[in-house]
Amino acid sequence: MTWHSSARYYAGLNEGVAARLGPFRSADVVMRSLDYGAVRDARADGDWRPLGRLVVDAARGLKRAGAEAVVLCSNSLHALAPAVEAQVGLPLLHIADATAERALRDGHETLAFFGTGFTMTHPFLRARLEAKGLRVLVPDDVDAIDAIILEELARGEVRDASRDVFLRALDALVHQGADAMVAGCTEIPMLVGPADTDVPVLDSLELHVEAAVAWLAQDSR
């Protein structure tokens, strides 16, 4: 939930609405950008209850400001999606649903899933993808991938050596049957994208934005 990915969300929403509804249209959005340091500290403590309260309170504030649906701009924090849905009372456009829809539409069956260590080792996203009939593989070296995301990409740092780590891990998963890569952290596309590999890359952020744009555009909202 860094500002780097939040900026991509905001730009993508406005660009998408303009493409659908006309060049002078833009997205009707209320946005809460949290202090990533506070988010990071809460995660490091391993106690997600304060972070859950922070995210739910933020979503409630957006509802009071006029929001009619919630887009949670982080794969990892979708662990809190059930709490947001239950306690805020707004529909939540789920990032895994948007990713699964595109994967299935494109005919993919087995996904190489990359994200933070927490997201790769806990089932809240993988299980949702698997429930759609997709097979999900994660890289062996979870710690190396996690460190690149949390220590480099979270600060906006993009290193060629780190890209090589991702691509080697992706190659190993392709040999296990993966036919597409999921960028399951909204910062990963800063580092790895379609230009870096012949394997199709499903950018969860981009697909999430597309789902939100479709929601905004319905009935010419």
The pLDDT, as a whole number, for residue 49 is: 85
Q: Which 3 state secondary structure label does DSSP give 187?
A: coil
The pLDDT of residue 160 is above 60? yes
Q: What is the mean pLDDT of residues 178-195?
A: 95
pLDDT tens column, 22-71: 999 999 999 999 888 877 777 666 678 888 999 999 999 999 999 999 99
Determine the Cα–Cα distance for residues 30 and 62; give it in Å rounded to an integer.
Answer: 6
The pLDDT of residue 219 is above 70? no
Whole-prediction pTM:
0.92
Is there a contact between 190 and 156 (Cβ–Cβ < 8 Å)? yes
The pLDDT, as a whole number, for residue 152 is: 96
82 with 107, same domain? no
- C-alpha dihedral, 21 to 25 to 29 to 33, nearest 10°: 110
pLDDT tens column, 94-144: 999 999 999 999 999 999 999 999 999 999 999 999 999 999 999 999 999
Q: Which 3 state secondary structure label does DSSP give 78?
A: helix
Instruction: Identify the domain containing residue 59 by its residue range.
Output: 3-94+207-220
> Which residues have CB under 8 Å from 52's CB, separation 6+?
80, 83
The pLDDT of residue 221 is above 70? no
13 with 56, same domain? yes
Determine the Cα–Cα distance for residues 136 and 100; give it in Å rounded to an integer.
Answer: 11
Closest by CA to 86, choosing from 61, 59, 48, 50, is: 59
CATH number, domain with residue 149 = 3.40.50.1860
Q: Which 3 state secondary structure label does DSSP give 116?
A: coil
**Helical residues (DSSP H) of the chain, grouped into ranges:** 3-21, 36-45, 49-64, 81-88, 95-105, 117-121, 123-130, 142-147, 160-175, 204-217
119 with 31, same domain? no
Looking at the structure of the chain, the number of domains it has is: 2
118 with 175, same domain? yes
The two three-digit tokens of residue 30, written as one number:
């209320």
193 with 172, same domain? yes
Paired with 180 in beta bridges are 111
77 with 136, same domain? no
70 with 41, same domain? yes
The two three-digit tokens of residue 110, written as one number:
């087995």
Q: What is the mean pLDDT of residues 180-194?
A: 95
pLDDT tens column, 201-216: 999 999 999 999 999 9
pLDDT tens column, 76-95: 999 999 999 999 999 999 99
